[in-house]
Amino acid sequence: MRRHGLIIAFLVFLVGVAVNASAFLTPGNIMDVLRQVSITGLMAVGVTFVVLTGRLDLSVGSLLTLLTVIVVDQHNVVGPFPAIMMTLLAGACIGAFNGVLVGFVGLNALIVTLAMLSFLQGLVLFYSGGSNVNVENAQATWFAVFGRGTFLGLPVPVVIFLLGALIAGLVLQFTSFGRKVYGVGGNETASIFSGIDARWTVFWTYVISGLATGVAAIVMGSRVMGAQNTIGQGYELTVLAGIILGGTSLLGGSGSIWRTVIGISMLGFIQNGLLLLGFPYYVQWLVTWVIIIIAVWIDLGAKRGRIFA
């Protein structure tokens, strides 16, 4: 129960919702949920690298907003392919800036990324002039394939999410960089004495987080074919909740990509089930808060060996 209590509770929740909402476990609804969680899932895959080192990245919600505005706006100026490249570059650069401040300067990750969240939201308003942007000639561009297309019967966003998770999982499990990430998160002092440069490891995790958010922004812009100045608001909370729900420790050194995929999917089905049961939308935020508190409590208790102390 200590290791898998949340998953057991989730399965009970699935059964309860399925009994009261016949459309819950239909193939169409399942695919809709997976399509919806693909954006937060892509972001969570990148942020998982950061969390595994024992750090946080709370700037991803505002970064998603900025990058979505950039990809849509630049699509109308220079075309889809250059806009995509610019978006990925911008995401990597902002992630690198966070990485420098946290990894090399040694500032607290919570403070740095919280400040970046505020800065990016202001930058969005400055860049867009406070106006929403939309893709021009939406019917004539191939850009829509990332958010609205299908591949072998699966929505393209789901394919991109699963492919990104697969690549990230392989990097963590079978590369020296992945072992360094776990090493820094497990015991940073010991990893330094083992010859690992923790500064560069932390730096590259933030770059990966920025790149993953850039991919999510491309999918978001393609799906909506537009961007609002608050389109990513609150996503950082959902991403963090999914990572914690999947069992990745906030203390670092423990977790995996497949756990994040499961956690994000669980959160998506919980939110969808609440809506099908007729609960107001804001109940999702209350439930997300409860999930975060319980998951962190279980994680800390498992680390200290005293859940009910």
Residue 46 has, within 13 A of its CA and on its CB side, a CA count of 31
CA angle 34, 39, 40 (to 5 degrees): 95
Give the integer Cα–Cα distance in Å for 141 and 4. 46
Q: Which residue has tokens 């610019």? A: 86
| Helix 235-245 × helix 27-52 angle, to 10° | 90
Give the integer Cα–Cα distance in Å for 120 and 164. 25
Per-residue pLDDT of the chain (309 residues; tens, 9 = 90+): 555 666 777 778 778 888 888 788 888 888 888 998 999 999 999 999 999 999 999 999 999 999 999 999 999 889 899 999 999 999 999 999 999 999 999 999 999 999 999 999 999 999 888 888 888 887 888 999 998 888 888 899 999 999 999 999 999 999 999 999 999 999 999 999 999 999 999 999 999 999 999 999 999 999 989 888 888 888 998 899 889 888 888 888 888 899 899 889 888 888 888 888 888 877 877 877 777 777 777 766 666 554 444
- Where do the structural domains in the chain lie, given as residue ranges? 37-233+248-258
